[in-house]
Amino acid sequence: MKIRNKKGEIEIDQLVIWILAALVVALLIIIIFRQKENILEFLTNFGNILRFGGG
């Protein structure tokens, strides 16, 4: 995805990716702060799934 201006073409793919990444991180931070008690359980369960393949 490119935008043309008088100086030429500007690549905005990188910018879009950074904006999306920042939004995702912000959402994760909000969720973590809202659910501090549940996050440890979630991380433990997630770790167990990775370790044991969900078995």
Q: Percent of the chain beyond pLDDT 90?
A: 15
Name the residue ranges covered by the structural domains of the chain.
2-52
| Rg of the chain, C-alpha, whole Å | 19
Q: How confident is the model at residue 48 (pLDDT cuts 50, 70, 90)?
A: confident
25 or 2, which is more confident?
25
Single out the residue of 20, 1, 22 nearest to residue 10, CA to CA. 1
pLDDT at 38: 74
Q: What is the mean pLDDT of residues 28-53?
A: 78
Q: From CA 9, how far away is CA 1, in angstroms rounded?
A: 10
Whether the predicted pLDDT of 11 surpasses 80: no
